[in-house]
């Protein structure tokens, strides 16, 4: 059964400036409704394999559209059954779409990952008593020591994150951070940056990398603003797939 694959939401009435091919080689087009439009292509309703080739095609479509106008990027493998369902989505979510498009207009997303060697915390110097408390008491002391070390590690990581951010956060409009997701990863960040400030943002991150030379900085982008659409086009009852 054929349906519609959704790449994202844009403003209308500007047409697409060039022909774009999407998943399965299908031409990408707009389904307009008032001042909004969905970026779509015809597609079987069976989800596409989640692999590099297919995800790259999805990304390329979104990025080509982003070059010409703001876009609210859709999730990979988001389908709707009919054009009527697309128009209903645009109508029901119109206010959220307009607000989100205004929010990301003239901006792109930059991604940053910072790796660190977590400091080795000294063993907690807890009074172990005389040992007559038994194994239960020893276990509680051990758990308390572990929790204190974790707290010290979190505090050290947070201080370091704040110091790093002071060097470039003023060059981004907004940011989304995941702090200490693993022992090796200090933080991952998504930054909403004005297009004409991308070079300044890169310079700020480069300065941070020079000052904190014991850390590893991996900066990527510019990307479509995936982290800053605030779920403006989450699936509705008419949406098929993930």
Residues 84 and 11 in one domain: yes
Residue with tokens 């090796």: 184
Please check whether residues 75 and 33 belong to one and the same domain. yes
Residue found under tokens 């080689």? 25
39 domain-assigned: yes
218 within domain boundaries: no
Cis bond upstream, residue 222 (ω within 30): yes
Same-domain check for residues 64 and 140: no
Asked if residue 172 belongs to a domain, the reply is no
139 and 44 both lie in a single domain: no
Res 119: pLDDT: 67
How far is 170 from 165, CA to CA, in rounded Å?
A: 8
- Does residue 128 share a domain with residue 89? no
- Please tell me the pTM assigned to this model: 0.75
Q: What's the domain count of the chain?
A: 2
Q: Do 142 and 78 sit in the same domain of this protein?
A: no
Q: In this predicted structure, what is the pLDDT of residue 150?
A: 72
pLDDT for 236 equals 38
Residue 97 lies in a domain: yes
Please indicate, yes or no, whether residues 28 and 71 belong to a single structural domain of this protein: yes
In a domain, 211, yes or no: no
For residues 12 and 84, state if they share a domain: yes
Q: Tokens representing 109?
A: 């997303």
User: Beta strands 239-240 and 185-194: pairing type?
Assistant: unpaired
pLDDT of residue 230: 64
Straight-line distance from the first to the last Cα atom of the chain, in angstroms, rounded to the nearest whole number: 17
Per the CB < 8 A criterion, the answer to whether 157 and 69 are in contact is: no
Q: What is the pLDDT of residue 8?
A: 94
For the stretch 215-228, pLDDT in tens is 999 999 999 999 98
Query: Which residues in the chain land under pLDDT 50?
Result: 122-131, 233-242
Round to whole Å and give the CA distance between 6 and 72. Answer: 11
Q: Are 5 and 78 in contact (CB under 8 A)?
A: yes
Domain span at residue 141?
Answer: 122-156
Instruction: Report the DSSP pairing between strands 2-11 and 36-44.
Output: antiparallel
Q: What distance lies between CA 8 and its chain's CA centroid?
A: 15
Span 145-164, pLDDT tens digits = 677 777 777 888 888 888 88
Q: Which of 97, 132, 156 is the endpoint of a domain?
A: 156
- Asked if residue 179 belongs to a domain, the reply is no
In a domain, 203, yes or no: no
């Amino acid at each position: 059964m054929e349906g519609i694959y959704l790449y994202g939401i844009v403003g209308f009435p500007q047409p697409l400036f060039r022909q774009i091919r999407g998943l399965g080689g299908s031409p990408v087009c707009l389904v307009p409704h008032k001042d909004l439009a969905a970026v779509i292509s015809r597609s079987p309703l069976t989800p596409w394999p989640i692999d590099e080739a297919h995800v790259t095609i999805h990304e390329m479509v979104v990025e080509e559209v982003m070059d010409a106008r703001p876009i609210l990027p859709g999730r990979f493998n988001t389908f709707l059954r009919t054009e009527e369902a697309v128009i209903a989505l645009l109508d029901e979510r119109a206010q959220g779409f307009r607000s989100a498009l205004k929010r990301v207009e003239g901006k792109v997303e930059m991604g940053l990952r910072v790796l660190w060697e977590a400091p080795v915390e000294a063993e907690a110097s807890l009074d172990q008593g005389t040992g007559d408390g038994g194994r239960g008491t020893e276990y509680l002391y051990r758990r308390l020591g572990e929790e204190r070390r974790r707290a010290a590690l979190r505090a050290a990581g947070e201080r370091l994150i704040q110091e790093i951010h002071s060097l470039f956060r003023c060059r981004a409009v907004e940011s989304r951070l995941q702090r200490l997701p693993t022992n090796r990863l200090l933080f991952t960040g998504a930054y909403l940056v004005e297009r004409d400030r991308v070079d300044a943002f890169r310079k700020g991150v480069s300065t941070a990398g020079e000052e904190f030379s014991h850390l590893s900085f991996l900066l990527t982008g510019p990307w479509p603003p995936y982290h800053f659409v605030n779920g403006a086009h989450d699936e509705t009852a008419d949406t098929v797939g993930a």
